Amino acid sequence: MDRNIRVQVWAGLAMLVLCLLIGAVEGTTVLRAGSGAWFVPWLGAFLVFLGGLVAATVRTTPPTARGRLLLVAVPVLAAGVVVLLSPSRGGLSYILLVLTAAIAALHLDLRGLGAVIGWNSLVVLASNAALGPLVDTPNPPLEVVLAAFLYALLQAASAAMVWAQRRVEETLQELSVAHVELRSTSALLAESSQAQERLRISRELHDVLGHQLTVLSVELEVAHHRVEGPGREHVLRARGLAKELLADVRSVVGTQRERTFDLPAALTNVVRDIPHPRVHLELAPALTAADEHAATVVRAVQEIATNTIRHAQADNLWIRLSSDADGLRLEAHDDGVGARTVTPGNGLRGLRERAEAVGGRVEIDGASGFRVRLALPTRREAMA
């Protein structure tokens, strides 16, 4: 398990233990002060708070404002009931309000967070003013205002820490996405530049050196028929060397023209040093691909990796690339949250368009994690 994940798990467990301890102490106090008549609603409110707090901690932020409000409102309102039903003014139950402010910072914007802190401050005022059923004597007005002010500061401080951590995580996520996009673009640009340079060199060799060697071979052939005596042997040897050199030049030109994209190196470079999730790249041995197929695969891996970083909440991403007589096969899946209904965005639509442009196909499934299958046929099948 990643170190950051372990820290988050332990922090969540510590928060849960703290809430249970507070519940045990406050529940005992409610029983002593108000018998079972008030303990039952208090226990119900506390359990609702506990369930809402856990849900708001582990769930992703809903995409709609209504969903975010409902997710945060349950623990906030339940915590208010727990505080008002507590007979201990300024007791441990106020810590629950601080926790709800911290959780709200995970899902709400600054305006929503301010509303939560304002509501909790009103609950603190009401509790200190003896508006709860188990409190008879209110605190002095100065103490009431001071308690509300101090706990508002505590809520703001806890929310600010969570907010800052959230911003750091989002920034790291965007940096990871930019890292993948930059690596893939650099790999494609480098390969394109190298391919153009190889083509230029091969043309120069063919047009200049090849032409001159051809002329030299013709001249030596003519000299072979005109020279007599001991010099004839040297002319024959020179003619043979010229023909061998011309054959070597043509071989080099052909090799330079036929060199293909170094796909394994490009993919390894794209997914290298991604901090989270952990990427497991499996490449078939002796993997080769046509340039247009290689570019499509690099862009596909880029899109899969960036989608996983942004949306999947996955710890691991597995990418497997193989080739056979039918073409290239790319399979990728993660251990994230997946999606019941996959709604392709611009990136996935672009991936499908690139694959179809070279005769390939893309399959996307979000039932268990997120899975993408890409099939690219051989060049002959793509042109058929």
Closest CA to 376 of 317, 320, 329: 329
Q: How far apart are CA 30 and CA 299, in angstroms?
A: 62
What are the residue ranges spanned by the domains of the chain?
3-139, 199-258, 261-383
Give the residue-averaged pLDDT of 269-275. 83
Does residue 384 carry a pLDDT above 50? no
Q: Which of 274, 277, 268 is nearest to 1 (CA)?
A: 277
Quote the mean pLDDT of the chain: 80
Report the pLDDT value the prediction gives residue 246, as an integer from 0 to 100: 61
Residue 380 has pLDDT above 50, yes or no: no
What pLDDT sits at residue 381?
46
Query: What would the pLDDT profile of 129-176 be if each residue is shown by its tens digit?
Result: 888 888 888 888 898 899 899 999 999 999 999 888 888 888 888 888
Calculate mean pLDDT across residues 353-380: 83
Superfamily for the 261-383 domain: Histidine kinase-like ATPase, C-terminal domain (3.30.565.10)
90: left (phi over 0), alpha (psi -120 to 50) or beta: left
* pLDDT band with cut points at 50, 70 and 90 for residue 57: confident
Distance CA 42, CA 351 (A): 54
Q: H helices then E strands: how many in the chain?
A: 11, 5
Please tell me the predicted confidence (pLDDT) of residue 227. 65
pLDDT at 321 over 80: yes
pLDDT in the model for residue 114: 93
The model carries a pTM of 0.63
Q: Read off the pLDDT of residues 3-56 as tens digits, 9 standing for 90 and up.
A: 566 666 777 788 888 889 988 888 888 888 866 788 899 999 999 999 999 998
50: closest CA among 82, 85, 9, 25?
A: 82
Backbone angles phi, psi at 2, to 5 degrees: -60, 150
d(CA 112, CA 297): 43
Residue 306 CA, distance from chain mean position: 5
Higher per-residue confidence, 230 vs 49 = 49
pLDDT in tens, 153-162: 999 999 999 8
Asked if 368 and 338 touch (Cβ cutoff 8 Å), the reply is yes
The pLDDT assigned to 383 comes to: 44
